Amino acid sequence: MTHASSSPIWHPFTQHGLEEPIPLIARAEGARLYDADGNRWIDAISSWWVTTHGHAHPRIMAAIRAQTEKLDQLIFAGWTHEPAETLAAELIRITPGPLTRVFFSDSGSTSVEVALKMALGHFANRGEPRQRILVLEHSYHGDTIGAMSVGARGVFNKPYDPLLFDVGTIPFPHEGMEQLALDALEVACTQKPAALIVEPLILGAGGMLIYPAWVLAEMRSICAAHGVLFIADEVMTGWGRTGTRFACDQAGVIPDILCLSKGLTGGAIPLAVTLCIEPIFASHWSTDRARAFYHSSSYTANPIACAAANANLEIWRDEPVEERIDGLAQAQRAHLAMLAHAPRVSSPRRLGTIAALDVDQSDAGYLSGLAPRLIAFYRDRGVLLRPLGNTIYVMPPYGITPDDLAEVWTAIAASLEI
């Protein structure tokens, strides 16, 4: 079943003029989506990278139901509640020691806006003239104006370009070019920027571009040496995607500011947090109200969302999540290896549970419509995949069955023939 063409809904990242069918989903379980007619799709991109364990995980659903019996929503300026207190304490426990403060918000973009404002507020309150932000080439940090400003410029944000603030861009550390990127960061850091923001180890929307842990560690220490705050945007990489709970763990990197969202609630309900080191909190701490951190959204630390996140953290504590991640990573490796030498396939790559490959784009005209044609091909075969340009990637929930994963890769193999 698809939604009626009379629907008033304006969908995100959707060109309605192309009149592509929009499936109407009625329920979901594990890695599967179902419509009311009994058709099913395998969700091979975790509903845009959010669903970690699987759809409708019973413990998360139960936690949400239980919380709705108690407290639905509460102003968070000057008030607090148990689910948020439990969650904040647990986040501090599972992240590295220097991260001591938790600021709540409600989306990945907002967690990035908060991170940028924390960094700029920190230096403003200390009377230090540091305002510039450094970014990595090809980055994506969200779709609000500040988040777009620190992300790659292109077709997605062209109309807003005059409004986006100027940033310093460090070249992406492509294989063999790592030192070039690090040298560029070193030079940029001498000009006293406020912060560097990075997606650790893998750039998601930029095309699943992977760089090594040692480069991340080097970038971190260059920033530290120059007093530049290091912001890790783990909105996509967090919660096991890259093989470890956080991507920074693989590099032994402790950021000054850490953004988390997407898998924070297991992907069930919106919530985000920005964690920071004590000196950033301390520079806002004062008896002077003018130095307070002026940021809030209406649903900051919504109790139902916090209860879902607490259930997610319990799942990480009690269930063999790491084993599932390892199992999925190995299965992804095997499937990717089978296609690695197929005609038209280049740059097969994998980090943890994320596998990606590029489809040869020698014929740019033909391929300019490749992604939409692939999306339709997969959709008609019961698979939800959404290539980024000519990059096909698989990022499923950890609970996907081996059969469903095999079906996803069979669909990809078949799509290389079209």
Ligand X SMILES: *Cc1c(COP(=O)(O)O)cnc(C)c1O
**Site of interaction with ligand X (CB under 6 A):** 107-109, 112, 140-142, 199, 204-205, 233, 235-236, 261
CB of 147 to ligand X, least distance (A): 6
CB of 170 to ligand X, least distance (A): 16
CB of 248 to ligand X, least distance (A): 13
CB atoms within 10 A of CB 234: 30
Helix boundaries (H) for 131-177 = 145-149
CA atoms of 370 and 390, how far apart (whole Å): 7
Distance between start and end Cα atoms, the chain: 25
CB of 360 to ligand X, least distance (A): 26
Q: Which is nearer to ligand X, 264 or 277 (CB)?
A: 264
Q: Which is nearer to ligand X, 205 or 223 (CB)?
A: 205
CA trace torsion 215, 217, 223, 225 (10° rounding): -120
Query: Does the annotation list 107 as a binding residue?
Result: no
CB of 181 to ligand X, least distance (A): 18
CB of 72 to ligand X, least distance (A): 22
The beta strands (E) that lie in 4-153 are given as: 25-29, 32-35, 40-43, 99-105, 133-136
CA atoms of 383 and 405, how far apart (whole Å): 10
CA atoms 93, 97, 103, 104: torsion sign: negative
Q: Which is nearer to ligand X, 266 or 411 (CB)?
A: 266
Query: Does the annotation list 233 as a binding residue?
Result: yes
Query: Are 36 and 25 contacting, i.e. CB atoms less than 8 angstroms apart?
Result: no
CB atoms within 10 A of CB 411: 19
88 alpha-carbon distance from chain centroid: 20
Q: Which is nearer to ligand X, 197 or 400 (CB)?
A: 197
Q: Which residues contact 283 (CB under 8 A, 6 or more apart)?
A: 121, 122, 125, 126, 291
Q: Which is nearer to ligand X, 233 or 256 (CB)?
A: 233
CB of 414 to ligand X, least distance (A): 28
Q: At CA 293, angle to CA 204 and CA 106, rounded to 5?
A: 40
Q: Reduced to 3 states, what is the DSSP secondary structure of residue 262?
A: helix
Q: Which residues contact 323 (CB under 8 A, 6 or more apart)?
A: none
Query: Does the annotation list 362 as a binding residue?
Result: no
Q: Which is nearer to ligand X, 359 or 395 (CB)?
A: 395
Q: Which is nearer to ligand X, 105 or 415 (CB)?
A: 105
The beta strands (E) that lie in 238-385 are given as: 257-260, 272-277, 345-351, 354-359, 383-384
CA atoms of 51 and 355, how far apart (whole Å): 16
CB of 48 to ligand X, least distance (A): 7
Q: Which is nearer to ligand X, 12 or 17 (CB)?
A: 12
Query: Does the annotation list 262 as a binding residue?
Result: yes
Query: Does the annotation list 48 as a binding residue?
Result: yes
Residue nearest ligand X, Cβ-based: 108
CB atoms within 10 A of CB 123: 20
Can you say which residues are annotated as belonging to the binding site for substrate?
Answer: 48, 140, 262, 296, 386
Can you say which residues are annotated as belonging to the binding site for pyridoxal 5'-phosphate?
Answer: 108-109, 233, 297-298
